[in-house]
Amino acid sequence: MSATPINLYDLTREELRVQLVRWGFNPFHTARLWNYLYIELAASFDAMPELPAKVRSRLTADAQLGVLATALETDSRDGFTRKYLLSLADHERIETVLMRYTGRVTACISSQVGCAMGCVFCATGQMGYTRHLTPGEIVAQAVHVARALRTAEEPHRLRNIVLMGMGEPLHNYDAVMQAIEIMRDDRGLALGAERITLSTVGVVPGILRLAKEKRPLHLAVSLHAATQAGRAALVPAAKKWPLDELMAACRTYSETTGRRIFYEWTLIEGQNDSAEDARAVGRLLHGLPAQVNLIPLNPTAGYAGIPTRTDAARNFQHILKEEFKLPSTVRQRRGIDIAAGCGQLAVAEK
């Protein structure tokens, strides 16, 4: 018996095959087991009746299915958003959000318990950093949402993943990339390159590594200000990775991968939502393949700023489009009543 049971959600299909062989089983069982994990979305080894008894008993002894228990489940009033508070094996808790936009189901998943980056307006930043998630804990969140859709007999299956929950995904690079590898497997969850978006606060070495490794995903970069001083006031990580280095890394990323980057901009009234701010964004992103995602500030306990008014957001958007030919979207404010909006995810108590 191995000391720590292997979490099957930690393994790629190839790694699962190797593990089965190591246990002395025919690799032929890999496809069926993988099918149970990611197509049938089995929640226990008992729900895998077509595996031979000897395989199942080995799994029961030496492996585990890292299914996450729901500690709390909350639906937003408009019914478009559902927030899950999920318990990890060490009793830490994370949040995962199911979002429905125009008939498409997206899971917003976490990469860490808390976050070390300390952005002033973000509830996760305000709670501080506890630990990284393992690949299996990241994958398990996607499985959880897929299974919930199945159980509720909803017509839609899980289509997209955004790594925009708790945590900074590029601070937990290896685990996140392993999880993506597992989630994109086309015989499993099949969440391929066009279906996964990773949002980073601007971890420069991570962005360059994504480019070098040509990782199959959409990249979103949290900008929030177009000057170094303005950005450092909102995003402490900007002191470590200054704006000019960040923009150089973004340019390298787009040139190497041929991909456009989404630039996120949390709109805070009187702070970064003026016409001049919009022009500064336009100048900063000039010549880059870019789309701007404007996110009206969501309230958090630890930050006094207030959201931009709708007309200011529209004006911001108008300037980007008319003066700089920059496409942008204003993110719909959904799930605010259950604190499931961007940056509102935090776990108050254990």
Which amino acids are annotated catalytic? 95, 342
Residue 87 in contact with residue 139, Cβ under 8 Å? no
Task: Tell me which residue has tokens 């490794």.
Answer: 213
For residues 114 and 188, which CB has a smaller minimum distance to ligand SF4 in the complex? 114
Number of H helices, E strands in the chain: 12, 14
Q: Which position among 65, 94, 138, 201 is part of the footprint of ligand SAH (CB under 6 A)?
A: 201
Residue 167 in contact with residue 188, Cβ under 8 Å? no
C-alpha to C-alpha distance for 235 and 248, rounded to whole angstroms: 18
Smallest distance, ligand SAH to C-beta of residue 298, A: 4
Considering the rule CB under 6 A, would residue 114 count as an interface residue with ligand SAH?
Answer: no
For residues 5 and 118, which CB has a smaller minimum distance to ligand SF4 in the complex? 118
Considering the rule CB under 6 A, would residue 164 count as an interface residue with ligand SAH?
Answer: yes
Considering the rule CB under 6 A, would residue 282 count as an interface residue with ligand SF4?
Answer: no
Q: Which position among 10, 95, 137, 168 is part of the footprint of ligand SF4 (CB under 6 A)?
A: 168
Residues 288-327 as x/- pattern, contact with ligand SAH by CB under 6 A: -------x-xx-x---------------------------
Q: Which position among 33, 119, 278, 292 is part of the footprint of ligand SF4 (CB under 6 A)?
A: 119
DSSP per-residue string spanning 177-214:
HHHHHHHH-TTTT---GGGEEEEES--HHHHHHHHHTT
In sequence order, what E strands does the chain have?
A: 6-7, 63-64, 69-75, 81-87, 93-101, 104-108, 112-114, 129-132, 158-163, 196-200, 218-222, 261-267, 290-296, 328-330
Residue 269 in contact with residue 309, Cβ under 8 Å? yes
Considering the rule CB under 6 A, would residue 191 count as an interface residue with ligand SAH?
Answer: no
Considering the rule CB under 6 A, would residue 222 count as an interface residue with ligand SAH?
Answer: yes
Considering the rule CB under 6 A, would residue 264 count as an interface residue with ligand SF4?
Answer: no
> At residue 264, what are phi and psi to the nearest 5 degrees?
-95, 140
Using CB under 6 A, list all residues that contact ligand SF4. 115, 117-119, 122, 124-125, 167-168, 201, 343
Using CB under 6 A, list all residues that contact ligand SAH. 119, 121-122, 164, 168, 199-201, 222, 264, 266, 295, 297-298, 300, 342-343
